[in-house]
Structure formats: structure tokens, C-alpha cells
């Protein structure tokens, strides 16, 4: 296994071979060892590789440099996750630029059934802090894993709120696991190791270079079912992450703010461009993701219907077949006049028997 990992790590260090090419090669040949053992001609024939990259692979000789990395991981109980590892974040596999190697230290399942990324500005407002904490608290009964980037501001607030709510939380780093950036979050990161973990694609000695943060952001976006943007200006890391999530066909939610608040301008732009869903409450989020547990109505509640008129009973019976129906169906199936349906619907709403939904839809309560 150690020999296999040497090749996997080595492939990430071949000049000219980025994450996209590494993933293509591994998927084509089966694993990194087979990549290095293939002929230059076979390598060059893989889409996106060509003669120059094939030559770079065949010319690479610094395999021994991967040994200290493997030993560091063994010493610090860090898992080295490759594309074929069951513990690798499976949601990432659907992203064309998924890292071929990840380093993970922690005790939470990166394939938790529900994963939400919560991101936002470093210079948050009190409103942003309160919303973040409330969202995490609302998610507590659903045992959602909270992912973010361990940065100042909304990221760290989300991580701390998750710890407080006994939810697993994973910080995705823009550097290796031999250090923590920002250093002020060293204590937070330590707590997260007991109730979540730290994840990165960078080798242990890689520092937090500014070019690493967009790479980090794609993992935050890709490993989650949905991304919630709390506060952000129109430029910055949160907008990059939201754009990546949108391009990965993930759900993106943006929390609205004041039109005059620059810290909410990015959220408003995402909503305006239809790249994010307007976030109103956690119940809405759960419904959009299909995570809301449907309440089973007790038969006793139906006894309330004995006081309804004949027209109202007809509409209720239609809604019992499928609890949400458009107005056109109610007209068609009831056989009532439009005025009779309108009067019955109004009375049913007043008695809290039905609820009006957007798009002239009605739901049985």
C-alpha cells in the first residue's frame, strides 16, 4: 500500500500535471502506479495530456520525496485518501477537477448523509453572526455535517456553532497539515479534530499561499450538498465558492441583507443572477433539499372536516389524494363554478384547513 501511495503523491507533483489531468490519467489507467508504468505513447493518447505532459510523467524521478509525506501522515494519524478510497468524499468525484489525493485528519465521515457548507465574509456584521448561529442550531436535529474554510468571520462562526450544537464540522485548508492558518484558530482546529476534522489537498509543508485559496474553495463547494452564503461583497472568496458550487450543479442559498450594505451586495447579486436561492428560513432549505421529514397527520384531525360545507368537503377530498394541488386541478376535478371554488378556498384558508402556496397552489394542512 505504501508503494501505491508513493505513486499517487508523486503524480500530484509532476510539472504540468494538474488536478484535472491527474484525475483523467488515474481514471484511464486505473491508478497512479499504472500511469507511471505506461508508455509515453499511451500517455500522450489520453485526452488533455499530449506529448509534453506525457514526457513530463515519464521524466519524473523524485519518487522518494513522497516518503517523508507518508511518514508524516502516519505519525500524525492523517488519512491519505485517493480517488478509489471509500472514505474519499464521494460528492467530489462528480467534479471534473477533484483532487486525486486528499489528506484528512479527524473522526467524522466525509460522506455524511447530509453536508452543508456555510461561507461568508471575514468582516461580518452582528446580523451575519446571528443568522449563522441560528441556521446551525436549526440544522442540529438533522445531524448535518457543517463544512467551511476555517477563515476569520462567518467560517469560524459556523465551525464554533457546529461544535456548540454537537454537530460534526470539517475545515478545508489552503495549506498542509503541519500548521494552521490563521494561527489564531489553532485552538478551534484542535477542538474540531474531536468532532469533525481538517481536510486539504496540500502536502504537509505547503504554506497558505494566496493561490491556494481558490483551490481550497472548490473542495468546500464540491464536497457538500448545498452551500449557504451568509454575507459577502461582490468580490472575494465566498463569491468564488458560490460560483463553483453553482457550476457543480449544487444548490446555493444566499441570505439577503440591506440593499445599502456592501457586505450583502454579493448575496443580492447571486440572487439577482439566479445563481442562488433566496434563503428565508431553514425549513425552506430542508424542503428544497428534500430533507424535511413529512409530518404524518393524525386521523383525528380529519374530524374537523365534519363542519365543512359540501363544496369545501369536495376540495378537501381532492387535496387528500395529493396534498398539494394547483387551482386548475381544483376547478377541473371539483366540477364547481369558479365562484364556488373561490368561496370554498377562502373559507378553508380562514379555518386553517389549507394553505396557499406560490404559483396558485394549495396544500392541505
pLDDT digits (tens, 9 = 90+) for 137-195: 999 999 999 999 999 999 999 999 999 999 999 999 999 999 999 999 999 999 999 99
Q: Which residues contact 339 (CB under 8 A, 6 or more apart)?
A: none
Asked whether 172 and 223 are in contact (CB, 8 A), the reply is: yes
Query: Distance between CA atoms of 150 and 173, rounded to whole angstroms?
Result: 7
Mean pLDDT of 303-330: 76
DSSP 298: P
Terminal CA-CA length for the chain? 57
- Mean pLDDT for all residues in the chain: 89
Band the pLDDT of 295: cuts 50, 70, 90: very low
Query: Distance between CA atoms of 238 and 246, rounded to whole angstroms?
Result: 12
Please calculate the CA angle 112-116-121 and round it to the nearest 5 degrees: 145
For residues 108 and 324, the model is more confident at 108
Please calculate the CA angle 208-213-219 and round it to the nearest 5 degrees: 120
Query: Distance between CA atoms of 19 and 246, rounded to whole angstroms?
Result: 20
Residue 322 buriedness (CB in 10 A; 0-12 / 13-18 / 19+): exposed
Which residue bears the cell 443580492? 268
Which residue bears the cell 386548475? 328
Please give the share of the chain, as a percent, with pLDDT higher than 70.
95
Residue 247 clears pLDDT 60, i.e. is over it? yes
CA atoms within 13 Å, Cβ hemisphere of 273:
15
pTM for this predicted structure? 0.77
Sheet harboring 169-172: ordered strands across?
79-82, 101-106, 196-200, 169-172, 145-148, 115-119, 226-229, 251-254, 277-278
Residue 299 clears pLDDT 50, i.e. is over it? no
Which residue bears the cell 463544512? 147
Q: Which of 276, 279, 216 is nearest to 250 (CA)?
A: 276
Mean pLDDT of 282-295: 81
Q: Which residues contact 25 (CB under 8 A, 6 or more apart)?
A: 11, 17, 32, 35, 43, 46, 49, 57
Q: Which of 226, 232, 225 is nearest to 269 (CA)?
A: 232
Q: Which of 167, 224, 212 is nearest to 192 (CA)?
A: 167
Amino acid at each position: 500500500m505504501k508503494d501505491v501511495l508513493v505513486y499517487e503523491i508523486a503524480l500530484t507533483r509532476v510539472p504540468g500535471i494538474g488536478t484535472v489531468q491527474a484525475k483523467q490519467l488515474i481514471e484511464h489507467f486505473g491508478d497512479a502506479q499504472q500511469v507511471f508504468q505506461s508508455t509515453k505513447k499511451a500517455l500522450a493518447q489520453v485526452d488533455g495530456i499530449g506529448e509534453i505532459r506525457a514526457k513530463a510523467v515519464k521524466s519524473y524521478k523524485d519518487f522518494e520525496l513522497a516518503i517523508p509525506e507518508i511518514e508524516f501522515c502516519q505519525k500524525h494519524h492523517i488519512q491519505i485518501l485517493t480517488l478509489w478510497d471509500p472514505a474519499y468524499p464521494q460528492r467530489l468525484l462528480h467534479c471534473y477537477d477533484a483532487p486525486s489525493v486528499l489528506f484528512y485528519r479527524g473522526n467524522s465521515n466525509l460522506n455524511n448523509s447530509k453536508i452543508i457548507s456555510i461561507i461568508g465574509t471575514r468582516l461580518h456584521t452582528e446580523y451575519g453572526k446571528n443568522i449563522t448561529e441560528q441556521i446551525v442550531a436549526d440544522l442540529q436535529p438533522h445531524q448535518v455535517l457543517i463544512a467551511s474554510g476555517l477563515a476569520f468571520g462567518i467560517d469560524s462562526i459556523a465551525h464554533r456553532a457546529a461544535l456548540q450544537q454537537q454537530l460534526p464540522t470539517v475545515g478545508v485548508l489552503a495549506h498542509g497539515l503541519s500548521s494552521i492558518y490563521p494561527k489564531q484558530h489553532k485552538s478551534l482546529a484542535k477542538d474540531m479534530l474531536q468532532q469533525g476534522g481538517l481536510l486539504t489537498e496540500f502536502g504537509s509543508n505547503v504554506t497558505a499561499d494566496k493561490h491556494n485559496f481558490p483551490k481550497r474553495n472548490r473542495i468546500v463547494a464540491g464536497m457538500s450538498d448545498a452551500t449557504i452564503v451568509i454575507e459577502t461583497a461582490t468580490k472575494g472568496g465566498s463569491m468564488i465558492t458560490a460560483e463553483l458550487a453553482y457550476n457543480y450543479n449544487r444548490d446555493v442559498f444566499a441570505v439577503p441583507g440591506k440593499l445599502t450594505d456592501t457586505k450583502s451586495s454579493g448575496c443580492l447579486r447571486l440572487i439577482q443572477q439566479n445563481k442562488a436561492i433566496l434563503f428565508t428560513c431553514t425549513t425552506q432549505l430542508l424542503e428544497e433539499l428534500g430533507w424535511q421529514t413529512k409530518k404524518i397527520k393524525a386521523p383525528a384531525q380529519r374530524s374537523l372536516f365534519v363542519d365543512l360545507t359540501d363544496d369545501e368537503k369536495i376540495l378537501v377530498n381532492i387535496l387528500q389524494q395529493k396534498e398539494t394541488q394547483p387551482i386548475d386541478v381544483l376547478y377541473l376535478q371539483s366540477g364547481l363554478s369558479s365562484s364556488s371554488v373561490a368561496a370554498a378556498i377562502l373559507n378553508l384558508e380562514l379555518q386553517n384547513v389549507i394553505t396557499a402556496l406560490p404559483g396558485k397552489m394549495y396544500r392541505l394542512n
